[in-house]
């Protein structure tokens, strides 16, 4: 099934067919609270990402000098499972794209997590590539001087320490400071169906969490952009001149299967669903599948009690993990590759690993764990032997406060 959308430019008519392969939303079993009746009818229609809604944003770009914040997920879907990069599509429509700003992992998504991305030139288009994950993490005044509008389109997965929302916030700050409008093309969040996890404390803010939101915040990147603006979270004195192009036929309960991995170590749905829970291992000395073909679908370490586990693996350098934790060492742990879609953050695996470590001092890389958790309390509670239920009870008030704020910005 496909949806036709198109625009008439002064020199050509572009007709796009939206891919329906694998992106069919799940039909809600109950009404979606707070939504109008017509929104309930979207469940049987293909999801249309904002990049395909050219009639909504091309008029805003005509005659403008454009900077695009993009990576490998920045695509316009065609038919079947085919797609075209948004930058190529804009150029084919004779839009005046001046440069591309690239986030963590780079414009083509080839760099490891944490690996610095350098400036360069895109060999296909000849456009300048400006890194937002190198010597600077937001566009400078000089880099925006020849830009009339910034177009932001990156696939997010809805986890606070996934750095694309930090890039969004810093780009919005730069745009607000220098009077450049920003257009966000919205995409589904595959973890938008729940809100959970510890809320970041301001004293631990950084690139892994810039604002006091829960680990899983249950919003699309467009909704979150509106929250950043509306809650006054930009460091600039003014709000960004923000336009969000919305999705069609998507709700927060919809299942969405990403056709392109959003970063090198999120290869499939299972990894994306487990990422909020297993991503916390990034702040420990325990491997979470990097250096295997099952990233964020397993965990293990040489110092876990071998008598407690019947699953082992050995991380080796591979795509997205040039130097994985526990490289070349036999790790004892658990295989989670058959876990179904998650509806909450689970602490059971982190608690399990801590309890079965032969030396518990080996588990936490304290500063790294605090940056990922957003609080020192989570490590303290695990070390104190608290149960998952006891730890989650400490999150409840913060989650309720956030949900109240979040409600103001939900669009779907």
- Do 181 and 232 have their domain in common? yes
- Do 39 and 141 have their domain in common? yes
- Do 341 and 292 have their domain in common? yes
Q: Which of 19-28, 106-115, 374-383 shows the highest mean pLDDT?
A: 374-383
- Residue 45 located in a structural domain: yes
CATH of the domain at 201: 3.40.50.12170
- Residue 66 located in a structural domain: yes
Read off the pLDDT of residues 227-286 as tens digits, 9 standing for 90 and up: 999 999 998 778 999 999 999 999 999 999 999 999 999 999 999 999 999 999 999 999
Residue ending a domain, among 258, 284, 315, is 258
Residue 28 has pLDDT above 70, yes or no: no
- The C-alpha R_g of the chain, in whole angstroms, comes to 21
- Do 53 and 142 have their domain in common? yes
Read off the pLDDT of residues 114-145 as tens digits, 9 standing for 90 and up: 667 788 898 889 999 999 998 889 999 999 99
Res. 320 pLDDT band, cuts 50 70 90: confident
- Residue 67 located in a structural domain: yes
Read off the pLDDT of residues 171-195 as tens digits, 9 standing for 90 and up: 999 999 999 999 999 999 999 999 9
- Do 213 and 310 have their domain in common? no
Exposure b/e, 278-289, CB count within 10 A at least 16 = b: bbbbbbbbbbbb
Least confident among 16-25, 41-50, 245-254, 390-399 = 16-25
Given phi > 0 = left and psi -120 to 50 = alpha, else beta, which region is 379?
A: alpha
Number of domains in the chain: 2
pTM: 0.87
Rounded to an integer, the average pLDDT of 284-289 is 98
Read off the pLDDT of residues 144-169 as tens digits, 9 standing for 90 and up: 999 999 999 999 999 999 999 999 99
Could you list the residue range(s) of the whole structural domain that residue 307 is in? 269-375
Residue ending a domain, among 233, 258, 283, is 258
- Do 96 and 220 have their domain in common? yes
- Residue 239 located in a structural domain: yes
- Residue 397 located in a structural domain: no
Residue 359 has pLDDT above 70, yes or no: yes
- Do 111 and 226 have their domain in common? yes
- Residue 192 located in a structural domain: yes
- Do 152 and 8 have their domain in common? yes
- Do 238 and 286 have their domain in common? no
Residue 200 has pLDDT above 50, yes or no: yes
Residue 395 pLDDT:
96
Assign 3-class secondary structure to the chain.
Answer: CCCEEEEECCCCEEEEECCCCCCCCCCCCCCCCCCCHHHHHHHHCCCECHHHCHHHHHHHHCCCEEEEEECCCCEEECCCCCEEEHHHHHHHCCCEEEEEEECCCCCCCCCCCCCCCCCEECCCCCCEEEECCCCCCCCCHHHHCCCCEEEEECCCCCECCCCHHHHHHHHHHHHHHHCCCEEEECCCCCCCCCCEEEECCHHHCECCECCCCEEECCCCHHHHHHHHHHCCCCCCCCCCCEEEECCECCCCCCCCCCCCCCCCCCCCHHHHHHHHHHHHHHHECCECCCCCCCCCCEEEECCECHHHCCEEECCCCECCECCCCCCCCCEEEEECCCCCCCCCCCCHHHHHHHHCECCHHHCECHHHHHHHHCCCHHHHHHHCCCCHHHHHHCCHHHHHHHHHHHHCCCCC
Burial class (CB in 10 A: 0-12, 13-18, 19+), 388: middle
- Do 12 and 157 have their domain in common? yes
Residue 110 pLDDT:
63
- Do 278 and 324 have their domain in common? yes
The sign of the dihedral angle between the CA atoms of 257, 22, 76, 61 is negative
Rounded to an integer, the average pLDDT of 306-323 is 96
- Residue 396 located in a structural domain: no
- Do 132 and 244 have their domain in common? yes
- For residues 265 and 268, give the distance between their C-alpha atoms in angstroms, rounded to a whole number: 9
- Residue 238 located in a structural domain: yes
Least confident among 1-15, 65-79, 216-230, 390-404 = 1-15
- For residues 187 and 342, give the distance between their C-alpha atoms in angstroms, rounded to a whole number: 20
Q: Across the chain, what does the average pLDDT equal? A: 89
């Amino acid at each position: 099934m496909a949806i036709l959308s198109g625009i008439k430019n002064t020199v050509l008519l572009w007709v796009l067919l939206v891919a329906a392969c694998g992106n069919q939303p799940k039909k809600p079993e109950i009404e979606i609270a707070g939504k109008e009746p017509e929104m309930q009818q979207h469940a049987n229609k293909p999801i249309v990402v904002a990049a395909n809604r050219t009639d909504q944003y091309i008029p805003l770009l005509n005659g403008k000098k454009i900077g695009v914040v993009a990576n490998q997920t920045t695509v316009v879907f065609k038919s079947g499972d085919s797609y075209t990069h948004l930058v190529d599509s804009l150029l084919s429509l004779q839009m005046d794209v001046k440069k591309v700003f690239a986030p963590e992992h780079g414009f083509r998504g080839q760099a490891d997590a944490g690996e610095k991305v350098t400036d360069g030139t895109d060999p296909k288009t000849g456009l300048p590539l400006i890194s937002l994950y190198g010597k600077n993490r937001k566009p400078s005044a000089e880099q925006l001087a020849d830009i009339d509008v910034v177009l932001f389109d990156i696939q997010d997965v809805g986890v606070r320490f996934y750095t694309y929302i930090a890039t969004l916030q810093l780009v919005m700050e730069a745009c607000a400071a220098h009077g450049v409008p920003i257009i966000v093309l919205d995409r589904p969040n595959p973890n938008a169906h729940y809100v959970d996890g510890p809320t970041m404390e301001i004293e631990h803010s950084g690139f892994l969490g810039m604002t006091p939101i829960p680990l899983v915040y249950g919003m699309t990147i467009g909704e979150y952009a509106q929250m950043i603006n509306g809650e006054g979270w930009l460091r600039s004195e003014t709000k960004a001149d923000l336009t969000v192009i919305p999705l069609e036929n998507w709700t927060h309960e919809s299942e969405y299967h990403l056709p392109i991995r959003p970063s090198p170590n999120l290869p499939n749905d299972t990894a994306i669903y487990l990422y909020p829970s297993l991503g916390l291992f990034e702040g420990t000395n325990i491997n979470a599948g990097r250096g295997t073909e099952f990233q964020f679908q397993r965990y293990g370490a040489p110092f876990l009690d071998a008598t407690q586990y019947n699953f082992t693996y050995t991380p080796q350098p591979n795509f997205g993990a040039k130097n994985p934790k526990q490289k070349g060492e036999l790790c004892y742990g658990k295989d989670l590759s058959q876990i179904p879609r998650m509806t909450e953050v689970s602490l059971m695996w982190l608690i399990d690993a801590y309890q079965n470590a032969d030396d518990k001092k080996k588990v936490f890389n304290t500063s790294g764990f605090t940056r990922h958790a957003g609080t020192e309390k989570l490590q303290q509670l695990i070390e104190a032997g608290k149960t998952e239920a006891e730890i989650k009870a400490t999150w409840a008030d913060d989650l309720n406060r956030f949900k109240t704020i979040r409600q103001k910005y939900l669009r779907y």
